Structures are given as C-alpha cells and as structure tokens.
Amino acid sequence: MINQRSFAQFLGWGIFVLIVGVVLPLGVRQYQVALLTEIIIFALFAVSYNLLLGYAGLLSFGHAMFFGVGAYTVAIVLNHISGLSFFGAVMISVMVTTVAGFAVGSLLLRHKGVPFALLTLAFNALFYAIATKWHSITGGDDGLSIRLPDINLGFAHLKTGDITVFYYITLLIIGSVILFCWYFTRTAMGQTVLLVRENEERMKFVGYNTNVSRLILFVFTGFLAGLAGSFYTLHYQFTSISAISIDMSTIVVLMVIIGGTGSFIGPILGACVYIYLQDFLSDITDRWPFIMGLIFIFMILYVPRGLSGLIDSFGERLRGRWHLRSSVEMEE
C-alpha cells in the first residue's frame, strides 16, 4: 500500500532520476547520449520482465514476443498510415501489444513453472515465425525501416531525428513509465502479485482469483515490453527479426539476472551494465558473447542476488560497522 514514507521515496527517486537524466547528456558526446537512450529503453524492458520473474515468480523465455510486437507494430503503422503522428504510432503499438498480451496470457494463465516457461518459448517461436514468413508486412529477413515523424506540440516543434531531443523524449516517457511501475509494485494489486507468488493456496482460500491477478500482470508486462519495443524501433528507425527473436528474450533474462531479481532497481542496473559491457566488449573482441556468458555463469554461481544484492550487502556491511562503532563510542 502507498503510505507517506513510500510516497516520499517515490518523490525522491523521481527527482533523482530527473536530475541525473537531464544533466547527464549535457557536455557528453552524442554517442553517449544514444547509448543512454538505449539503456533507458532496455531498462523498461528489463523492469517489465522482472515484474514477471522477480515479483510473480513466473519464468518466461518469450518476453521478446511483446517487445517485438511493439517494435514491428510501430514500424508497420508508420509505413502504412501516412501522416500518423509520433504518439499516435506509439499508442497503436502499445494497444496492439496489450491485445497480444491478453490473447497469449489467457491461454497461459493456468500454467506455472516449467510448462509456463516452455509455452512462452513456444509462443515466442510462433511470433518469430510470423515475423520471418509474413514478408509482405514485416519485411522478413530484411526488416522494416521507418521515417521518424517530428512532434508538433503547437508551441514547439521537436525534431525527433536529433539524438538529444529523442533522448529527452525517451527519458520523459519511458522514465515516467518506469516510475509508474515502481508505484505499481507498492499498490494493492502489486502486493497481491507478491502474495500469489509466496502462497497461492492461501490467496485462493481468502477469496482471490489468482488466475486473474496473473493475467492482469502478464498483460501489464506485455504492455510495458511493447512500449520498450516501439521506442527501440523509433530509436534505430529500423526493426528486424532480432527484436522478436529468442536472442532478445535471452538478453532480457541476462539483464535481470545480472542486475538481480530481488529489487526494483536490479533490472535497471542490469540493463546499464549489459548495454555498456556489450558496447565496450564488442570493441575489443568479436567473441564478446562468450565473455557475457562467463559473466552470466559467474553471477549465477557467486552473486545469485545480482548487482543490486551486492550493493545491498555492501550497504548492510557499512551500516553494521557504523552501528558497531557508534555502540563502542557509547560504551566508552
């Protein structure tokens, strides 16, 4: 539930993100701004995945299907509806993804654990096959390129092709949605999801329809991944089967595992580290996925709580020392 303390935290984080986000692009090279934009987009994708994995305990191997549906829808509507605005395309895209989420979710809601994971994988493969085979609509292997429409707010004309302008649009929209996700985890609905994970029988016993809770969450995460996907296309002005491939589903699992599933911040941290490492390592070697794999194994074996867990335990250790010191001082 949202109490005053949580609201203060919410506000604090909001202001923090805003300041860091607004200040960061000033004085850095354009390439770093493009990289930051990518990090924000993938942060939302990872957050949406963590709502499934970390909060609801549902391991999905097919989250890229929603990311891909979002990415493709934005490209298809911008190519086929002339004069469609930037926000119009994004709106249609998230609506289509939500419907896709509902359709897939309705079929999956009775499953958990391994059957759920395998079914998501199968659905992802289905969506991937559609993207590859339906050449006339999706462009098949060639992918789809788009012409990015500018945003006309009446009082201001925003050139979305400008890297910095696009960064701020992404920060504003995706940043707000990420904050809303944080808020969602604190709402009654968000807490219900946690309780379903912890003890579903008990929840059923007290009268909750847990299938409905799971479906709502599934559709919501699909919506979020679709939004991330549509910004991915808008950012690159291009989409291809990579966006809807099993590789993309693996990437988001990696991000969330590296960042840690135990906290809201974990996946955001995971997205930062993944994108930056990928950028850094692919400069050094063409075998960068191998190094990523090693990092993944290391994280699973030695840092199962991910980077956010590492920061937490480091913080706790610091606090422990501080407490120890203050109690020694008091004794003296």
Partner 1 sequence: MKKSMLCGLGISVFMVAVVFVSASAQAAETIKIGVCEPLSGTFKDIGERYLEGVEYAVKVINEQGGLLGRKVEVIPIDSELKPDVASRKATKLILKDNVRYFCGGTGSSVGGAMSVLAEKNNALMLSYGMAAASLTGEKCSRNFFRACLNTDTQSYALAMWVANSGYKKVLGIAQDYSFGHEAVEAFMKKVKELNPSIEIVGKLFHKAGEKDFAPYVSQIISSGAEVVWTPNWGNDLTLLIKQGKNLGMKAKIASYFLNDEYLIESVADDSAIIGNVTAEAYMLTIPGEENRKFIEGFYKDKGYYPSWLRGKAYTATMFWAEALKKAGKDDTNAVIKAWEGLTYEGPAGTWYMRPCDHQAQIPVWVAIMVKDSEFYKHAFVGKPTMIPAKDIEITCEETGCKMK
Q: Rule CB under 8 A: which residues touch partner 1?
A: 5, 9, 12-13, 16, 20, 24, 28-32, 34-36, 38-39, 135, 139-143, 145, 161, 163, 236-240, 242-243, 263, 265, 268-269, 272-273, 276, 279-280, 282, 286-287, 307-308, 311-312, 314-315, 319
Whole-angstrom distance, CA of residue 10 vs CA of residue 2: 10
Min. distance of Cβ 67 from partner 1 in angstroms? 12
Q: Which 3 state secondary structure label does DSSP give 152?
A: strand
Terminal CA-to-CA distance of the chain, rounded, Å? 43
Report the Cα 271 to chain-centroid distance in Å. Answer: 8
CB of 178 to partner 1, least distance (A): 12
Report the distance separating Cα 279 and Cα 187, nearest Å. Answer: 37
145 backbone dihedrals φ, ψ, rounded to 5°? -105, 155
Report how far residue 137's alpha carbon sits from residue 58's, in angstroms, rounded to the nearest whole number.
Answer: 32
Residue 49 CB, nearest distance to partner 1 (Å)? 18
CB of residue 121 to partner 1, shortest distance in Å: 20
CB nearer partner 1, residue 145 or residue 250: 145
Q: Residue 265 CB, nearest distance to partner 1 (Å)?
A: 4
| Choice between 319 and 321, CB closer to partner 1 | 319
Nearest approach, Cβ of 248 to partner 1 (angstroms)?
9
Query: Cα separation of 280 and 168, whole Å?
Result: 24
Q: Which is nearer to partner 1, 8 or 297 (CB)?
A: 8
Task: Report the residue number, 36 or 196, with the smaller CB distance to partner 1.
Answer: 36
Q: Tokens 């050449």 correspond to what residue? A: 135
Q: Residue 217: which of 91, 72, 68, 54 has the closest Cα?
A: 54
Report whether 22 contacts 170 (CB < 8 A). Answer: no
| Four-residue CA torsion sign, 229, 234, 235, 238 | positive
Cβ nearer to partner 1, comparing 36 with 253 = 36
Q: Indicate the helix (H) or strand (E) that contains 239.
A: strand 238-239
